[in-house]
Chain A
């Protein structure tokens, strides 16, 4: 048996474009006319303690899925929509421990390169075919097949070599080099086990229907509108720790897609859906005031929403200018006032709920404009131009921000403008580059920017490897998440060691050292920890939470009707 070596789970850096129409005025006006949505169809029944069998749960998500195959699609909504359809070989708990699921046990070779899984007997896919070692091979081979065009899953197992079927219930997975994060990755729906018969139908079919062995069976998918599921009555193989042991409570599950924030909130308050995801932070107070609605926030694990200075060129190549930017701007206050306390200000590159987070980073965070001024003076930016910006040799201190406005969510453009205004106070001219999703990779590869921003949700501190390892600096030949273009031999060595060691204590120590080092070098400006906010009416019960960032429906049940 091998201990958990949790790792990469999730890329949600920058989401696919979902343009939305934000309409604060209409709400204000509607409120003025006395037309605010009040809660109708109030289900006054108190929440019963015993789960109810049967019924339909209606959930609404805010993102439009274009591809339902988790092996291929990188989007988080795909994981949300398929988690209860596909099972995984292993599960992961909140502490990052790996638990048996479709694999009852496993061993890791001494060189950390091969994993031998013993599989659970009697598991059937919902199309009637059996789960076996050949299915494991078919799935992992499908993930790395270039034809799958995997935008995330294949990146989770970069050193994958092959899977061998030792006997019907034993599969051996081999990597070309040690890859300790494998088991944690394996617990995600992205490496979930689908029916080989369904995989054989090709990408076009998989994009619209996924067949697994999970507690729900996907029934229909109307793009842009609705995904429906029915209970899998034969389900008897949940993760070892699951409270429920057999089929799900719900007869049916309907997940509709409502991209417009105010409509989604209105649909919940008027009882047209039972629960919604992606609650906008401006609506949290309004919903919390409604006695029939419960709002839940869950901090997402992995990389926070951070700003990354380009440490290889431009003004931020000087560590003193980076430090000045970090201590000169009061990020915490800006975040608190903008998000009404829904999102926590960040102190580390990774979120506090992440396994491997170092609480000591809190002491490294401070706001000190005078120190910032002193640092900028030391760096030679002593002059001032007529607009009040600092200059050196007649050149203004300009920071060019690679900001993709078209796909920015969670009011990030407003946040960026407030940071711009705060930077002006310490004499730094922050300018926004005109960047679109299709020009972003080119600019990132050339390093033609001074500042970048994104969040990087992952299951654990392995996110740090993506963000700060020198091999992950974006280049013309390879994309990467090290937008700070940070290259430090010591940090590289620590990160490499995390791939090889299975000792949790050593890993924690390594991750703590890395967090402190990158903060001391100001290779990252932590901004806020994204939370997934979802709201449920009294009808909806038992919706659980799965890290890093989505609700799960296996144990859900409804009252009434």
Chain B
């Protein structure tokens, strides 16, 4: 028993160390990428406006741009460890507060979109897997459309119908739930369609397995077979995919944020990349990488709960 705990502890330590390496790598790569692209930060800040040489010098001093690149990198890493992500060049606020303002709406949107997508995918896969040809055809047709239509197009269509025409939802300034419904739906459509495809395929494979036949032979109802046996098997690849999608959504959200005029990490990142606002770019990269790591670690912990075989393995 003790040795097993030690093994789990060891695995956790390794996991933690690799996570730190991932985060360090993410920060370093983004630092290099932004410094390797042509153009200086001062130039990006000044743009095409006319500033006095004193203002230019002040910018360089304020942001430590007059120091060698390696020193800037070292200083940045040092500050990150102490929880200070620096000060935005353009936004006149600390990176922590800029991200703090954006991460709430982003997580809400990604979370709501993801949850909705999972529910829709599960329901649709459970009800259509292994059914008559025309039902499956209908479902997979809908999925194909869902994964193919661009997210912004869905967003604008939803706004046109439910906001401009029917007036059910505000197009702008919606707080809380009313402001979240349409953006979450527009995100859930492509994600849900993709997950539904994967899940139905998995379900259909499982339903052909001998144990499914055995369960039916025991007199179990069709719904029971699907819910108690098949779903668990089909869920694993979906959960893996969902974890990856969640991380991706944080970035892909910029389109939805633009269409629905929502603040969030996507818009923050886009503006920062355009303006060469290094501290914000690196801050968002770091936070996104952290979210990835946390979500994937969380998923690793969930796998054994879903699949008992993995429990034995540990």
Contacts and interface: CB of A to CB of B under 8 A. Distances in A.
Interface of A: 11, 13-14, 16-17, 19-21, 23, 25-26, 30, 35-38, 40-41, 60, 64, 66-67, 69, 72, 74, 146-147, 149-152, 154-155, 158, 203-204, 206-208, 222-226, 254, 256-260, 262-263, 266-267, 269-270, 272-273, 406-407, 436-442, 444, 454, 466, 472, 477-481
A224 B44 contact: no
B48 A454 contact: yes
B11 interface: no
B261 A437 contact: no
A33 to B, nearest CB: 9
Contacts of A25: 153
Contacts of B165: 35, 37-38, 40, 270
Interface of B: 37-41, 43-44, 46-55, 57-59, 62, 90-93, 101, 152-153, 156-157, 159-161, 163-165, 167, 170-173, 255, 258-264, 267, 270-271, 274-276
Contact of B48 (A23, A147, A222, A441): A441
Given A35-B157, A266-B159, A477 B39 contact: no
9 contacts: A23-B153, A67-B91, A151-B51, A155-B52, A224-B262, A263-B159, A436-B37, A438-B41, A439-B38
Given A66-B90, A480-B50, 17 more contacts: A14-B47, A37-B164, A66-B271, A146-B52, A151-B49, A152-B49, A154-B51, A155-B52, A223-B91, A225-B263, A226-B173, A256-B261, A272-B170, A273-B172, A466-B50, A478-B50, A479-B50
A40 B162 CA distance: 13
B228 to A, nearest CB: 43
Contacts of B255: 21
B124 to A, nearest CB: 24
Contacts of B173: 225-226, 254, 256
B261 A30 contact: no
A437 B52 contact: no
A441 B46 contact: yes
Given A66-B91, A438-B43, A146 B156 contact: no
Contacts of A439: 38-39, 43
B49 A272 contact: no
Contact of A438 (B92, B160, B259, B276): B276
B52 A60 contact: no
A214 B50 CA distance: 28
Given A263-B261, A479-B49, A441 B274 contact: no
B183 to A, nearest CB: 12
A481 B50 contact: yes
A207 B50 contact: no
Contacts of B50: 11, 155, 466, 472, 478-481
Given A223-B101, A225-B261, A259-B261, A270 B48 contact: no
Given A19-B270, A150-B55, A438 B44 contact: yes
Given A30-B156, A40-B167, A154-B55, A440 B48 contact: yes
B93 A74 contact: no
A26 B263 contact: no
Q: Which 4 A-B pairs give the minimum distances between C-beta atoms?
A: A438-B39, A207-B92, A17-B274, A438-B44
B201 to A, nearest CB: 31
Nearest to A14: B48
B238 to A, nearest CB: 30
A440 B172 contact: no
Contact of A479 (B51, B62, B171, B270): B51
A442 B46 CA distance: 11
A440 B55 contact: no
B92 to A, nearest CB: 3
Contacts of B93: 204, 207-208
Nearest to B41: A438
B271 A17 contact: yes
Contacts of A74: 47, 49
Contact of A149 (B55, B101, B164): B55
A21 B153 CA distance: 10
Contacts of A257: 261
Given A204-B92, A256-B261, A454-B48, A16 B172 contact: no
A465 to B, nearest CB: 12
B258 A13 contact: no
B275 A437 contact: yes
B163 A272 contact: yes
B262 to A, nearest CB: 7
Contacts of B152: 21, 23, 26
A539 B122 CA distance: 47
Given A40-B167, A439-B38, A266 B261 contact: no
Contacts of A477: 53
B172 A272 contact: yes
A225 B48 contact: no
A158 B53 CA distance: 11
A259 B258 contact: yes
B265 to A, nearest CB: 11
Contacts of A69: 92
A19 B59 contact: no
A60 B172 contact: yes
A481 B50 CA distance: 8
B106 to A, nearest CB: 12
Most buried by A among B44, B163, B173, B262: B173
Contacts of B62: 149
A242 to B, nearest CB: 30
Contact of B164 (A66, A266, A480): A266
A260 B261 contact: yes
Contacts of A158: 52
B258 A272 contact: no
B271 A438 contact: no
Contacts of A466: 50
Contact of A64 (B43, B160, B170, B271): B271
A258 B163 CA distance: 15
A387 to B, nearest CB: 30
Given A13-B49, A30-B160, A223-B263, A146 B54 contact: yes
A266 B48 contact: no
Contacts of B53: 477-478
A150 B51 contact: yes
A230 to B, nearest CB: 17
A272 B178 CA distance: 14
Contacts of B267: 64, 224
A122 B134 CA distance: 80
A406 B37 CA distance: 15
Most buried by A among B62, B160, B165, B271: B160
A462 to B, nearest CB: 13
A21 B160 contact: no
B58 to A, nearest CB: 4
Contacts of A154: 51-52, 55
Contacts of B49: 11, 13, 74, 151-152, 155, 479
